[in-house]
Amino acid sequence: MTDAEAFEMDALWSDFHSAVNMTSQELAAWLRVSSAGEDAERLPERAGPERGRGVLSILRKRQMDLTDADIDLMREVVETVSSEREAGPRETRPEPDWRYQLMSLGHDPLRAG
């Protein structure tokens, strides 16, 4: 890895952890609650949307253990959180749905200052 690539990775790591403002424990609990039902109770590791489970997996890793898929997801999450925060709740995505979508990515907009 070149110095430029290492610098870019450090910046992405920082941006991701700024966008994802929930702990891994909070996100895991939210994913279980948001997809509550018999299947979720039997398979808690499969609770919530795939992207949310991916974010949870990244939160539990060290930067040096990231895969290319993790890096792609990190970029996607940073972009999604940024664009959704800018757009805010709207008629097509009212506040509860908007907040819950972001929380499924590990971002609780009520915490952002």
> Would residue 51 count as lying in a domain?
yes
- H/E stretch holding 67: none
The torsion angles phi and psi of 58, rounded to 5 degrees, stand at -65, -40
- H/E stretch holding 79: helix 68-87
> Would residue 109 count as lying in a domain?
no
Q: Quick one: pLDDT at residue 36?
A: 63
How far is Cα 8 from Cα 46, in angstroms, rounded to an integer?
31
What are the helix and strand counts (H, E) for the chain?
6, 0
Q: How many domains does the chain have?
A: 1
For 24, the domain range is 3-103
**pLDDT tens-digit series, residues 31-74:** 988 776 555 455 556 667 899 999 999 999 999 999 999 999 99
How far is Cα 58 from Cα 94, in angstroms, rounded to an integer?
28
Q: Quick one: pLDDT at residue 45?
A: 64
> Would residue 61 count as lying in a domain?
yes
Model confidence, pTM: 0.87
Q: Quick one: pLDDT at residue 29?
A: 92
